[in-house]
Structure 1
Amino acid sequence: MLILGFSCYYHNSAAAIVSDGEVVAAVEEERLTRVKNDSRFPENAIRACLDWSGATLDDVDLVAFYEKPQRKLARILSTAVRNYPRGSDHFRAIFENRNERGLYGSAGLVGKLLAASPTAGARTAWDKRLVQVPHHLSHAASAFYPSPFESAAVLVADGVGEFATTTIGAGTTTAGNGKKIRLLRELRFPHSLGLLYSCFTHFLGFEVNDGEYKVMGLAPYGRPRFRESILDNVVHVRADGSFTIDESLLTYPIARHMYDRARMEALFGPRREPDEPLTQAHADLAASIQQVVEEIMLELANQAHASTGERNLVLAGGVALNCVANGRIQREGPFDDVWVQPAPGDSGGALGAALEAWHGHAAQPSRTARGHQADGMCAARLGPAYGLREVCSALRARDVSHLVVSPDEVAPTAAALLARGRLVGWFQGRMEFGPRALGSRSILADPRPAAVQKALNLKVKRRESFRPFAAAVLRDRVADWFALEGRETSVLGTPGDGYESPYMSLVARILPARSFDTEDDVRRFGGLDVQRNEISACTHVDGTSRIQTVRPQDDGRFHALITEFDKLTSIPLVLNTSFNRRGEPIVCTPQDAVDCFLDTDLDYLCMENVVAWKSPEAALTGRRPD
């Protein structure tokens, strides 16, 4: 049975293919259109997934949409009635916008979009094949079904689905009935952890649905001195982990602006305009809302454990992108293991809808044979791949000097370049699904010099200089560098050898033995230029790093590169960040990679087994560099 899942019209739209219960392909629309956070109907993503599967729309047995549009309309209507006459203009604008898209009509209207797609064939009875999966069930399905667990507690937290903003559930596996999910508790709009964080993102001068990462990155520079004010005036947390927001202060349910600016400024000082310099007060506010969200998520995890009795936890929803909060749940929470869907936001909902259509709607058995894979996500390498011909064609089209090397020489060559301090674009195999670059579409650098962090941010990424970078570390060496402890009952790791974090979903502290004594106040702005430890380029000012653990069976070439770098430097990790510039999606095609390479201060580009450079001085001659 072939199932197509898709999401669209709110955040980042996407499509996914599930074949007989196995995830085959998944891609975000933005990667193909080059429009950041593209929310349009994912026509290109559907085509890419079908092409990879060797199928057409006529071959698809079920089409799964990631939410129930009419239920979402009911929430919008009920919010408008409850707040009438306040917010009537806001309601009218939302309704007219949605209505133009035809999303709140019958299933047949969504089917018309599919039937009009260039990928459609003659078979167009979409109303009989279309399954609408509730939004939070799509998130839950994306987290539990591909996870390595036979049973687990499920925690979903995001902005809002139809009505739900936070959901606790349980995933189980039974003989003869396969895997199932039960949703047990939910919080409803407008009481939303995701929208709470977005309000402060906007108040701090960053773009909503894009700048939340910046708030998380800014938080370690500050002190949470506004924490009590937030808990007293903005969000009120109950003993059972549930919470309410003050609707008179956060006005997103009834107004196009997200909060009462005058009242917020009375509590937290002037709102920062997007182009204003960052101050210590801004960092303190970021630290405060970050700590509040961490504490709420940790209490929700405790409640999920109490409600289900499960020893494992899976996470999804946009709040699960907060890897600092995830790290606290892993360290301080009651669970033996925590697994986070690598695309926890709405793009992952496309995948979850397809999986729920298989397990729930079609009631098909579980597929547990995964071979060498730790989970069912294929290491998140679910997007398009490109061959040598396409790579060379893209380089020749822009007249870029390059050298084809043997496949076995790519990793040693790139490792030697990194060890010499070069910045390398790394483009290999199938593109990752989700917001993290995991070694398929990455920019790599030597993690040792502190100066690399600033150079990458300003000259390549072209973004704020305070933003941190991740460490991609050999799985069997993580415990030598980071406090990413495994537990005695761990499913995801051998006891005592460290924890799995294959999707950069957890933050961990670097071990004290790897740090240097310094009298510098590294938490000041600009403190990242201080050589604080052996891998300062990928360590944040609070002594932590976002971790990606790398196994050879997940990505043999990327693992080989880090292994070669370790041989040269005795450092079993590299700095890894997404291959893109500010405001752009991660590169997808060889042409995208070449454009980004030429427009930034990257030194080399490694695409498949081709190495490219810009200046004659950087030319390679058939041998890897000294």
Structure 2
Amino acid sequence: MDNKNQFKPSNVIVGISFGYHDSSCCIMKDGELVAAVQEERFSRVKNDKSFPQQSLRYCLEVAQVTLDQVDCIAYYECPEKKLSRQIWMGIQKGASAHYKAKVAAQLTQPSPMDIIRQKTGYSGDIEIVEHHLSHAASTFYFSGFDEAAVLTVDGVGEWSTTSYGKGAHSKLELFEEVSFPDSIGLLYSTVTSYLGFKVNSGEYKVMGLAPYGKPRYAKQIRQLIELKDKGQFALNMKYFAFLQQECMYSEELIKLFNTPAREPESAILQFHKDIAKSLQVVLEEILLEKVRYLHEQVPSKNLCMAGGVALNCVANGRIKREGPFENLFVQPASGDAGTSLGAAAVVYQRRTSKRPSSEKLKSVLLGPEYDSTYIKNLLVSSNATFEDFSGNEEGLLNYVATQLADGKVIGWFQGRMEFGPRSLGARSILADPRGEEMRDKINALVKKRESFRPFAPAIMEDKVAPHFDLDTDSPFMLETCQVKSSLYLPAITHVDNSARVQTVNPNYENRFYKLLSHFNRITDCPILLNTSFNVRGEPIVCSPLDAIMCFVRAEIDFLVLEDFVLSQEMVPELWKVGVLNTPISKQSDEKSIGHAVYSFM
């Protein structure tokens, strides 16, 4: 007997999503989620859609299995149904020649199953899970709820754009959907594009811009969509162009607002702020109406949400406050990255008739980690000057907390990387939230992004009540609430007095919690500004080399790599030359990072 197969673990399921945007991979062993990561973190290509080769390799290593020990690979959508939609789009009246050619090119592409086998050599089972079922499973099976109503809302999967469902025990059923081209996600993305931001990544910016405006154009936004009975709605397609060309909006939309579309990177006027506010208000109205309908069909206390629209934390907060459900769980990786989790969960349930996990997802620290020995060897071999706090965690935390209290900005790199779009204390940029100038400093110098975008507060979970109007834990920054603290917190308080809070639990983010505790001891403030460890245009850092590149490029004051601290003053001039001459995007694979850093160290 083959020894490798003799000790084969049971029910090893790999979930994979790729081909559109934000490719990812996860692995489950006996229903337990062991690892999950987005391919962009390895490739350094933001929202990378390519086959997640490096992510798969990582997941197998963490699970300590080989590919031939995998029972099944679960793929996150039905290729045949998706292709039927693409063909339908290509034959629409008025479709441009370029658009038709692009759609026709899809017919010549290998199927996802063929790509999986070609890239991996895997000869085992591959199962298909439809896109919105993957979204639904990614939230219900990780919610901790024994039963719940389920709502998934995104741009489009195969044909579905919104799904209504219910989960009970191990069973999950979707009982109604809205079909393409009618889509809340595409409505939001179309206006995002009109406002000069990039589709599939700029929607966050629109949400952040909205509080600066007034809903003066809500009436016009409502003309873009007709709400129908039950869970249905329909877009007024005369305002949309995505069926005929790559542009999202038509000339009719420009006429409706009586203003040309904003050019990317141009000035943001009050008009644009008012459009953003109007869109956000209408989005919330639509979601609240459909959530109330869902509650009529599934009168549960619990609601689970997923899909890209579920990352709109402002809408989530309003659903929690004003909707009919008592409890809300939003999948922290609600976009397409999270569908790999859902696909794997569905396949596990199909094969065992059991629910993957009865526990609520408490942590998304599911990515790579690098031990202190590896990091120290990296720094020593590159002749770096650094402070070594090995075996002295108390000294490290005191030192970093003191620097934060002194107004310094910290790059914080600890443990396993987060899965999903938020940095949650493993790959974070941290700062004192009380500084009047801190928000502008980080936006302009570190993040190199628009000044209107807010930063999030991270707070010790047991210190929330005096500072934020939040009645439950919020470990994943997925809803906003009002700031009520007696402290002056300008760096994390948005213009409408809201904040997107992360509550930090010592059981799941131990060292980060300890840092908050030390900062509180020094300042009587249990809160830190927490934003993702990256500069504009690149993914969140994954490896120590990524962190060094970002630290140098963004001129962050201090970099904390596990037990080691580097200051900007310690950075040799030749490091700066090497890093600053390396392009940010599409270059930062291991080889090119190593060349940029090592050759100047």
Q: TM-score, normalised by structure 2?
A: 0.90
Whether contact under 8 Å (2:386, 2:570) holds in the other structure is no
Q: Which moved more, 1:14-23 or 1:293-302?
A: 293-302
Residues 239/451 of structure 1: CA separation in 2 closer, same or farther (3 Å cut):
farther
Cα distance in 1 between the residues matched to 2:283 and 2:410: 35
- Correspondence for 2:588: none
Shift of 1:304: 1.7
Whether contact under 8 Å (2:439, 2:455) holds in the other structure is yes
Whether contact under 8 Å (2:94, 2:244) holds in the other structure is no
- Correspondence for 1:220: 211
Whether contact under 8 Å (2:291, 2:323) holds in the other structure is yes
Matches within 5 A, 1:325-336: 325-336=315-326
- Correspondence for 1:412: 398
Shift of 1:535: 1.0
Cα distance in 2 between the residues matched to 1:598 and 1:396: 17
Whether contact under 8 Å (1:248, 1:260) holds in the other structure is yes
- Correspondence for 2:187: 196
SS for the counterpart of 2:542 is coil
SS for the counterpart of 1:253 is coil
Residues 1:363 and 2:352 aligned together: yes
Q: Deviations for 1:396-453, whole angstroms, at most 9, x for unmatched residues?
A: 4554321121234333322221111110000000000000000000000001012100
Residues 1:427 and 2:432 aligned together: no
Whether contact under 8 Å (2:366, 2:418) holds in the other structure is yes
- Correspondence for 2:117: 112
For 1:161, give the aligned amino acid.
G
Q: Residue 387 of structure 1: which of 366, 371, 384 is its match?
A: 371
Cα distance in 1 between the residues matched to 2:340 and 2:358: 23
Whether contact under 8 Å (1:168, 1:185) holds in the other structure is yes
- Correspondence for 2:246: 256
- Correspondence for 1:94: 103
Q: Residue 556 of structure 1: which of 510, 515, 521 is its match?
A: 510
Shift of 1:366: 2.9
SS for the counterpart of 2:501 is strand
- Correspondence for 1:573: 527
Shift of 1:296: 1.1
Q: Residue 123 of structure 2: which of 118, 122, 125 is its match?
A: 125
Residues 575/111 of structure 1: CA separation in 2 closer, same or farther (3 Å cut):
closer
For 1:442, give the aligned amino acid.
S
Q: Residue 341 of structure 2: which of 339, 351, 359 is its match?
A: 351
Whether contact under 8 Å (1:88, 1:254) holds in the other structure is no
For 2:101, give the aligned amino acid.
R
Residues 1:604 and 2:558 aligned together: yes
SS for the counterpart of 1:314 is strand
Residues 392/617 of structure 1: CA separation in 2 closer, same or farther (3 Å cut):
closer
Shift of 1:463: 0.6
Residues 99/78 of structure 1: CA separation in 2 closer, same or farther (3 Å cut):
closer
For 2:132, give the aligned amino acid.
H
For 2:181, give the aligned amino acid.
P
Whether contact under 8 Å (1:241, 1:296) holds in the other structure is no
Cα distance in 1 between the residues matched to 2:570 and 2:177: 61
Shift of 1:88: 6.3
Q: Which moved more, 1:290-299 or 1:582-591?
A: 290-299
Whether contact under 8 Å (1:423, 1:603) holds in the other structure is yes
Whether contact under 8 Å (1:537, 1:575) holds in the other structure is yes
Q: Residue 491 of structure 2: which of 514, 534, 537 is its match?
A: 537
Whether contact under 8 Å (1:168, 1:183) holds in the other structure is yes
SS for the counterpart of 1:425 is strand
Cα distance in 2 between the residues matched to 1:456 and 1:77: 46
SS for the counterpart of 2:566 is strand
- Correspondence for 1:589: 543
- Correspondence for 2:592: none
- Correspondence for 1:243: 233
SS for the counterpart of 1:183 is strand
- Correspondence for 1:313: 303
Q: Deviations for 1:105-164, whole angstroms, at most 9, x for unmatched residues?
A: xx4x24423xx33xx5xxx424xx000000000000100101121111111000000110
Cα distance in 2 between the residues matched to 1:111 and 1:48: 16
- Correspondence for 1:27: 37
Shift of 1:43: 0.6
Residues 1:42 and 2:31 aligned together: no
Whether contact under 8 Å (1:156, 1:168) holds in the other structure is yes
For 1:218, give the aligned amino acid.
L
For 1:31, give the aligned amino acid.
R
Residues 1:165 and 2:150 aligned together: no
For 2:146, give the aligned amino acid.
E
Matches within 5 A, 1:359-508: 359=349, 361-366=350-355, 368=357, 370=359, 375-376=360-361, 379-396=363-380, 398-405=382-389, 406-484=392-470, 498-508=471-481
For 2:83, give the aligned amino acid.
L
Cα distance in 1 between the residues matched to 2:500 and 2:269: 24
Residues 218/320 of structure 1: CA separation in 2 closer, same or farther (3 Å cut):
same
- Correspondence for 2:593: none
Cα distance in 1 between the residues matched to 2:175 and 2:409: 48
Cα distance in 2 between the residues matched to 1:348 and 1:55: 22
- Stretches of structure 1 that go unaligned for 5 or more consecutive residues are 174-178, 485-497, 515-532, 619-626
For 1:137, give the aligned amino acid.
L
RMSD: 1.8
Whether contact under 8 Å (2:76, 2:128) holds in the other structure is yes
Number of residues of Structure 1 aligned to a counterpart in Structure 2: 560
SS for the counterpart of 2:352 is coil
Whether contact under 8 Å (2:38, 2:337) holds in the other structure is yes
SS for the counterpart of 2:226 is strand
Shift of 1:85: 5.8
Residues 346/147 of structure 1: CA separation in 2 closer, same or farther (3 Å cut):
same
Q: Deviations for 1:42-96, whole angstroms, at most 9, x for unmatched residues?
A: 1111111111111121110010000000011112233445x34645652431230
Cα distance in 1 between the residues matched to 2:534 and 2:570: 25
Residues 86/478 of structure 1: CA separation in 2 closer, same or farther (3 Å cut):
same
Q: Residue 285 of structure 1: which of 267, 271, 275 is its match?
A: 275
Q: Residue 132 of structure 2: which of 131, 136, 143 is its match?
A: 136
Cα distance in 2 between the residues matched to 1:400 and 1:279: 46
Q: TM-score, normalised by structure 1?
A: 0.86
Report the identity percentage: 43
SS for the counterpart of 1:51 is helix
Q: Deviations for 1:567-620, whole angstroms, at most 9, x for unmatched residues?
A: 1111111100000000000000000001111111211111111111121699xx
Residues 1:275 and 2:248 aligned together: no
Residues 263/604 of structure 1: CA separation in 2 closer, same or farther (3 Å cut):
closer
- Stretches of structure 2 that go unaligned for 5 or more consecutive residues are 1-10, 573-601
